Amino acid sequence: MSGTERQTKYDVIVVGGGPAGLAAALEAKETGAEKVLILERNHELGGILNQCIHNGFGLHHFKEELTGPEYAGRFISRLPGSGIEVMADTMVLEITPDKTVHAMNSRDGYMQLTASAIVLTMGCRERTRGAIAIPGDRPAGIFTAGAAQLYVNVEGYMVGRRVLILGSGDIGLIMARRMTLEGAKVLGCVELMPYSNGLNRNIVQCLNDYNIPLYLSHTITNIQGDKRVEKVTVSKVDENRRPIPGTEMEFECDTVLLSVGLIPENELSRQAGIRMDRRTNGPEVYENMETSIPGVFASGNVVHVHDLVDFVTAESQRAGKAAALFALHGETPPGEEILVENGACVNYTVPQKIRPENVGKFVEIFFRVNFVYRDVVIRVTSGEEVLASYKREHMAPGEMEKIVLPKALLEKARDGKIRVSVEKEAQAE
Amino acid sequence: MKELICIVCPKGCHLKVDEENGYAVTGNSCPRGAVYGKKELVNPTRVLTSTVKVTGGTLKRVSVKTDGDIPKSQLFPAMEALENVEMKAPVSIGDVVLENFLGLGVNLVATKTVPLREE
């Protein structure tokens, strides 16, 4: 029985042992937090990286190209001897604002653990067929791309022989190649938007390498099949993303993979009463990744969906460090707050709020644009004054942007607000 | 003149390669792009990642990769060669699964640690 034997008071509890949780826990420990615990739902650490067996991870953080399991392995191998405690196969049921974590597993049963600081690193979940309402029958053979990836790469099951992919996000592209290498015929990748949200390199090495067609501005308008998928209808869409009658194409296939977006997994955050941002579907965070509840931090895909795990690591190290400092020194005293507003073409920013007193030499702001742009300027303004400009040759919704604001600029903010926007270069200067 | 998108890093530079001028590459923003541009036209190569069977471990499959790139034309023969490969747990990241894989001058290495399954 745990209640009696297990120490239940921690400095920092990390909820989720994927790339974000691993980086946060290690950084918290290195910053000086004594008792650090990682709670993980799966039987092993590493999160989604375990099924991402392709390479391309780590170019920023490790300056070399690693596969997903290798990237996770670099962090997991630092745990033994670090003093960080890990509870795998453990489900967190609830987190309360007083920083009690309610969790359970089949070994210890139900537990109440308390922490001085908590880091939320639950990651994200795939959008499903239900979330995008595809018409047609409900046969077997329709998977989210990530579920198929788990079956193929971890469990060793082939999910289909003739495959059509809806959505051209990176997971869909990666699975197009993976299924092809495993002997399936991938008939095409269908994308609603006039551009792909996947990385260019993945379009080249996952689709073009295997002559898999990419149908931009197309969508699935019907799925037919009795027990298993038999036939899928694909139609071209107009500029309002509505199917154009008469453009139907039919594909005979047994499998449909969906790569139609990711949603941060925030049931625990919402239940705890953390203030959420409707643009990111994640918690609102300050410059040090602290949420609206003092001492509760969040980082990685639970805050906003990233394209590159390297940036998840960097963000989570910030969160882990801040959590340790909170556990050691207590709350940040109330001070000035600057709200980061979204201007033209900007979908969201992280952080949403900045406390200048907490900023060292500079603060990094991450954001995404709402469309594909060429030769533009990112402007940071406050009132009428332009505080900073950054040129970009190319911007796309699929590529997270980063700007670095020196602390001195924050001091020029008026009315506690700065605004990030994107403009055509010609109009600027 | 051939146009390519560089796959060396996530940036995806638009390259132009001049086949008639010693495969001179323009449009690259780093030296690795120039190397890629030429190689892609002369002898395109890729790193292969996949999985092989593992017995006695906490998992049924262990992920593997070639520790260098192999000719594109060898990707499917390589996949076929993996079909009958079987490893025994425990496996550690970096363990060599097959030396000089298919005589291509690269090793096939494990990319995941698979501990022994406790009975």
Residue B54 shares a structural domain with residue B24? no
φ/ψ (deg, to 5) at A171 = -65, -40
A61 contacts on B by Cβ (under 8 Å): none
- Indicate whether A247 pLDDT > 70: yes
d(CA B9, nearest CA chain A) in Å: 7
Write out the two tokens for B57: 């471990």
Tokens 């209640």 correspond to what residue? A3
User: Stretch A18-41: mean pLDDT, rounded?
Assistant: 98
Residue B20 shares a structural domain with residue B71? no
Pick from A59, A156, A199: CB nearest B12? A199
Across-strand partners of A262? A126
Chosen for mutation from B32, B52, B112, B118 (greatest number of chain A CBs closer than 10 Å) is B112
Determine the Cα–Cα distance for residues A288 and A28; give it in Å rounded to an integer.
13
Write out the two tokens for A295: 């001492």
Residue B31 shares a structural domain with residue B55? no
Tokens 């509890």 correspond to what residue? A13
Strands A100-105 and A91-95: antiparallel
User: Stretch A271-293: mean pLDDT, rounded?
Assistant: 97
Determine the Cα–Cα distance for residues A290 and A215; give it in Å rounded to an integer.
41
B76 contacts on A by Cβ (under 8 Å): 181
Q: Would you call A30 an interface residue with chain B, using a CB distance cutoff of 8 Å?
A: no
Determine the Cα–Cα distance for residues A353 and A340; give it in Å rounded to an integer.
6
Domain residue spans of chain A: 8-125+263-332, 128-260, 339-424
Task: Report residue A197's pLDDT band, with 50, 70 and 90 as the boundaries.
Answer: confident
Residue B31 shares a structural domain with residue B53? no
Residue B53 shares a structural domain with residue B38? no
Residue B67 shares a structural domain with residue B36? no
The confidence score (pLDDT) of residue A428 equals 43
CATH topology of domain A8-125+263-332: FAD/NAD(P)-binding domain (3.50.50)
Determine the Cα–Cα distance for residues B45 and A211; give it in Å rounded to an integer.
16
User: Stretch B84-109: mean pLDDT, rounded?
Assistant: 97
pLDDT in tens, B45-70: 999 999 999 999 999 999 999 999 99
Residue B82 shares a structural domain with residue B53? yes
Residue B67 shares a structural domain with residue B34? no
Residue B6 shares a structural domain with residue B21? yes
Q: Which domain holds residue B55?
A: 49-110
Task: Report residue B17's pLDDT band, with 50, 70 and 90 as the boundaries.
Answer: very high
Q: Write the secondary structure of chain A as one string of H (helix), E (strand) and C (coil).
A: CHHHHCCCEEEEEEECCCHHHHHHHHHHHHHCCCCEEEECCCCCCCHHHHHCCCEEECCCCCCCCEEHHHHHHHHHCCCCCCCCEEECCCEEEEECCCCEEEEEECCCEEEEEEEEEEEECCCEEECCHHHHCCCCCCCECEEEHHHHHHHHHHHCCCCCCEEEEECCCHHHHHHHHHHHHCCCEEEEEEECCCCCCCCHHHHHHHHHHHCCCEEECEEEEEEECCCECCEEEEEEECCCCCECCCCCEEEECCEEEECCCEEECCHHHHHCCCCEECCCCEECCCCCCECCCCCEEECHHHCCCCCCHHHHHHHHHHHHHHHHHHHHHCCCCCCCCEEEEECCCEEEEECCEECHHHCCCEEEEEEEECCCEEEEEEEEEECCEEEEEEEEEEECCCCCEEEEEEHHHHCCCECCEEEEEEEECCCCC
Q: Would you call A67 an interface residue with chain B, using a CB distance cutoff of 8 Å?
A: yes
CATH value at residue B80: 3.10.530.10
Does any domain span residue B56? Answer: yes
Across-strand partners of A105? A109
pLDDT in tens, A56-65: 999 999 999 9
What is the count of structural domains for chain B? Answer: 2
Residue B77 shares a structural domain with residue B31? no
- Indicate whether A333 pLDDT > 70: yes
- Indicate whether A241 pLDDT > 70: yes
pLDDT in tens, A127-144: 987 767 788 999 999 999
The kind and range of the H/E element at B110 are: strand B108-110
Q: Express as a percent the part of chain A with pLDDT over 90.
A: 86
Strands B49-55 and B86-88: parallel
φ/ψ (deg, to 5) at A301 = -70, -10
B113 contacts on A by Cβ (under 8 Å): 73, 76
Across-strand partners of B116? B57
d(CA B79, nearest CA chain A) in Å: 7
User: Stretch A114-135: mean pLDDT, rounded?
Assistant: 90
User: Stretch A288-297: mean pLDDT, rounded?
Assistant: 97
Pick from B8, B51, B93: CB nearest A73? B93
The overall average pLDDT reported for chain A is 94
The confidence score (pLDDT) of residue A378 equals 96
Does any domain span residue B118? Answer: no
Across-strand partners of A159? none
CB contact under 8 A, A308 and B112: no
Q: Which CATH architecture has domain A339-424?
A: Sandwich (2.60)
- Indicate whether A4 pLDDT > 50: no
The confidence score (pLDDT) of residue A7 equals 60
Q: Helix axis angle, A170-181 relative to B75-82, nearest 10°?
A: 70
Quote ipTM for the complex: 0.93
The overall average pLDDT reported for chain B is 93
What one-letter code names the amino acid at A353?
K
Task: Report residue A6's pLDDT band, with 50, 70 and 90 as the boundaries.
Answer: low
Task: Report residue A2's pLDDT band, with 50, 70 and 90 as the boundaries.
Answer: very low
Other CB atoms within 10 Å distance of the CB of residue A415:
9
Of the candidate CATH numbers 3.50.50.60, 3.40.50.300, 3.30.230.10, 3.10.20.30, the domain formed by A128-260 belongs to 3.50.50.60
Other CB atoms within 10 Å distance of the CB of residue A96:
14
Q: Nearest residue on chain A to B114, judged by CA atoms?
A: A44
Does any domain span residue B116? Answer: no
CB contact under 8 A, B46 and A154: no
Of all residues in chain B, what percent are helix, strand and coil, respectively (each to 5)? 25, 35, 40
pLDDT in tens, A303-330: 999 999 999 999 999 999 999 999 999 8
- Indicate whether A3 pLDDT > 90: no
* Helix residue ranges, H only, chain B: 31-42, 75-82
- Indicate whether A1 pLDDT > 50: no
Q: Nearest residue on chain A to B82, judged by CA atoms?
A: A182
The confidence score (pLDDT) of residue A420 equals 96
Residue B72 shares a structural domain with residue B27? no
Common-topology check for domains A8-125+263-332 and A128-260 = yes
